[in-house]
């Protein structure tokens, strides 16, 4: 069992930055790919970014490429999402999620592939 807890959300003006954190506890974090998803009011939860356990590979949805950066510190069991140049359309609840990959290389953009989820942190970008 892996427990995930997000933090770092808040209210920011358009063009500003926030850094979200996803802290893991419970079982070892090794070999877990971690993804960030977001859900805006009235919309489905969508994939934002993912990182493999050894940080070899990162993946982003097109709408955040060049603005968001996902990283992880396995010694701290924490994954980060640095969000720059924020836009009002980035407003959503952000969730981190983890899936086990015995190769350490698998990732997915599909919510159903992720077994463990955090409770979410709210990000509001004002125009």
Q: What integer best gives the mean pLDDT of the chain?
A: 95
Rounded alpha-carbon distances, angstroms, from residue 69 to 2, 59, 85, 93 = 23, 9, 12, 17
Q: How far is 58 from 50, CA to CA, in rounded Å? A: 6
DSSP 63: G
Mean pLDDT in residue range 44-70: 95
Q: Give the pLDDT mean for 95-123.
A: 95
Residues 6+ apart with CB under 8 A from 12: 18, 86, 123, 124, 125, 126
CA dihedral 45, 104, 9, 117 (to 10 degrees): 50
Contact between 88 and 127 under an 8 Å Cβ cutoff? The reply is yes
The structure tokens listed for 39 are 């859900």
More confident residue, 19 or 27: 19
């Amino acid at each position: 069992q892996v427990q995930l807890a997000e933090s770092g959300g808040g209210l920011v003006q358009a063009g500003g930055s926030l850094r979200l954190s996803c802290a893991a506890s419970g079982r070892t974090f090794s070999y877990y790919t971690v993804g960030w998803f977001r859900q805006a009011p009235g919309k489905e939860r969508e994939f934002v970014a993912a990182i493999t356990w050894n940080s070899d590979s990162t993946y982003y949805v097109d709408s955040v490429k060049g603005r968001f950066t996902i990283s992880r510190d396995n010694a701290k069991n924490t994954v980060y999402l640095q969000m720059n140049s924020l836009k009002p359309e980035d407003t959503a609840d952000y969730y981190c999620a983890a899936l086990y990959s015995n190769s350490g290389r698998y990732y997915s953009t599909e919510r159903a592939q992720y077994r463990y989820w955090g409770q979410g942190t709210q990000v509001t970008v004002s125009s």
